[in-house]
Structure 1
Amino acid sequence: MHDPLPFPASWRIALPHTAAAVPVARALVRTALAELEHAADCDTAELLTAELVANAVEHTSGETPIELVVELLPTGCQVEVHDPDPAPPADLTVPSLPEPDPLQEGGRGLLLIRALSSSCGHRPTGSGKAVWFRLPAVPAQRRPTA
């Protein structure tokens, strides 16, 4: 066992403005959370990160890289995805939305983020916006064993 990280600890990485960013972002989140003794749920963090990165790639134009920020806190983690579009994400913080069309492939990402995170939101940045979610730490006795 290794010494726990000093809190807060954070990782920041620029990702290409392509679909190739999604698996890289998932791997970074998994690696970051593996460093925590009382980690947030890794599978949920990966899923929600993939949704944020995919949305940033799909809904913003240009070749400007997007940025992934993972912040580890004693109480869990916060993941942010920065993109160059200042427009807020549609319906991220709306409490109730109509059900997504079951015949459509998309439309569930923000619903997943709202449902599975402890909180989520967006904020303007100097170069666009950041969309974020938080997950609480899962006590060791409730985590699955590998």
Structure 2
Amino acid sequence: MNGTTLYERPAASASWRIALPHSAAAVPVARALVRTALAELEHGADSDTAELLTAELVANAVEHTAGDAPIELVVELLPSGCQVEVHDPDPAPPGNLTRPAAAEPDPWQEHGRGLLLIRALSSSCGHRPTESGKAVWFRLPTVPPQRRPV
């Protein structure tokens, strides 16, 4: 090599925070925000995986929390990757997020795979209490661009 760096990410970070309706309509809005954030900054996290996992978190928040209080999406882009959080008003932790369920999901059921996907596809995930409920989060690392012949 001649000392030229082939891969370099900017050191800057960016974040977005948006209130979403407590309805199924929140899912495509959340996916679009994550896709746009990663594309506009040419961020190196896997956009498809980020969208999928965001959709799972938002859908879980809508389905498993009572009331009509908005949920909140927080997207943070860092040089090392991205972190997505979904805040909801229910303080109860999500079941089986950080540990596998006792039984495998029933392949014939529509539900039961979201937390499994988040555990399997993220570099880390978890939840924490907030003043108004909880935040459930996942992280994805940056992925270096594929090498291209010169």
Same fold, TM-score > 0.5, yes or no: yes
Question: Are the aligned partners of 2:97 and 2:116 in contact in 1 as well (CA < 8 Å)?
Answer: yes
Are 2:61 and 1:27 aligned? Answer: no
User: Secondary structure of 1:92's match?
Assistant: coil
Q: State which of 42, 52, 56 in structure 2 corresponds to 1:51.
A: 56
Match of 2:137 in 1: 132
Question: Are the aligned partners of 2:10 and 2:79 in contact in 1 as well (CA < 8 Å)?
Answer: no
Aligned residue type for 1:62: G
Aligned residue type for 1:122: H
Question: Are the aligned partners of 1:117 and 1:135 in contact in 2 as well (CA < 8 Å)?
Answer: yes
The range that moved more, 119-128 or 94-103, is 94-103
Match of 1:74 in 2: 79
> Post-superposition shift, 1:35?
2.7
Question: What are the ranges of 5 or more consecutive residues in structure 1 without an aligned counterpart?
Answer: none
Map 1:1-146 to 2 at 5 A: 7-95=12-100, 97-141=102-146
User: Secondary structure of 2:110's match?
Assistant: coil
User: Secondary structure of 2:139's match?
Assistant: strand
Question: Are the aligned partners of 1:5 and 1:36 in contact in 2 as well (CA < 8 Å)?
Answer: no
Say what the alpha-carbon RMSD is for the aligned residues. 1.5
The size of the alignment, in residue pairs, is: 139
> Post-superposition shift, 1:38?
4.0
Partners of 2:11 and 2:47 in 1: CA distance: 19
Question: Are the aligned partners of 2:89 and 2:134 in contact in 1 as well (CA < 8 Å)?
Answer: yes
Q: Sequence identity of aligned pairs in percent? A: 83
Aligned residue type for 1:75: S
> Post-superposition shift, 1:141?
1.5
Deviation by residue 1:85-132 (Cα, 9 ceiling, x = unmatched): 000000000146421011111000000000000000000000000000
Partners of 2:35 and 2:53 in 1: CA distance: 12
The range that moved more, 120-129 or 90-99, is 90-99
Give the TM-score taking structure 2 as reference length: 0.88
